[in-house]
Amino acid sequence: MIVLTAEQAEEVRGPTATGAALEPVALADGVTFVLPEAVLDDPAHADRRDYLASLPRRDIAQNEWPQSE
């Protein structure tokens, strides 16, 4: 997963092409956001590819995701 701060998530959130948008997901800590690495290969997000590729990536542990109610 691509890891973003709240500020970075806000910067990339939103439409990228007709019918496509980036919507970072908050982790349980409420300050860390993630996007799947697959967005780097999606032509709809090409205008943000370089920026997203520069961000850290890591596996997200199950306990880092928000708990379902």
pLDDT in tens, 22-58: 999 999 999 999 999 999 999 999 999 999 999 999 9
In angstroms, the CA 65 to CA 11 distance is 22
What is the pLDDT, as a whole number, of residue 68?
Answer: 74
DSSP 65: S
Closest-CA residue to 2 (of 33, 23, 30, 27): 33
pTM of the model: 0.91
In angstroms, the CA 30 to CA 45 distance is 25
Residue 69 has pLDDT above 80, yes or no: no
Give the start-to-end residue ranges of the domains of the chain. 2-59
